[in-house]
Amino acid sequence: MDSFNVFVLSTGGALQIQCYQCEEMSTNDCSTPEFIVNCTVNVQDMCQKEVLVKPDGIHYRKSCASSGACLIASSGYQQFCTGRLNSVCITCCNTPLCNGPKRRKPTPSTTTANTTT
């Protein structure tokens, strides 16, 4: 039991996050298992997602990033994040696979009840 406690303490500081990683994908399809990477322990602590609007459509870049670099990049490109042609939006997040597709909100199911009077 003591050796187990020592092991937990020695690895407790090592944090690793998983992110999606791809370069210039023209679809959001790089959010599938083959694009999942383990980021560098204690260096890359965030996931980054870039959305580029180009003449031929929307392109995505996804990667691991350090929090400092990602936050600087996202704030630096904030003025270019208009959603129009040639715009670039960079977002940072710090939970596993958070740079994947937006999760769809569940749509309320329509239920019909037969009522007789």
pLDDT in tens, 6-50: 333 344 555 799 999 999 778 667 888 999 999 999 999 999 999
Q: What is the mean pLDDT of residues 44-73?
A: 94
Strand partners, 22: 62
Q: Which CATH architecture has domain 16-93?
A: Ribbon (2.10)
pLDDT at 61 over 70: yes
Query: pLDDT band at 79, cuts 50/70/90?
Result: confident
Average pLDDT, whole number, for the chain? 80
How many other C-beta atoms lie within 10 A of the C-beta of residue 114?
Answer: 4
Return d(Cα 103, Cα 117) in angstroms, integer.
42
Q: How far apart are CA 60 and CA 23, in angstroms?
A: 7
Separation of alpha carbons 86 and 113, rounded Å: 50
pTM: 0.73
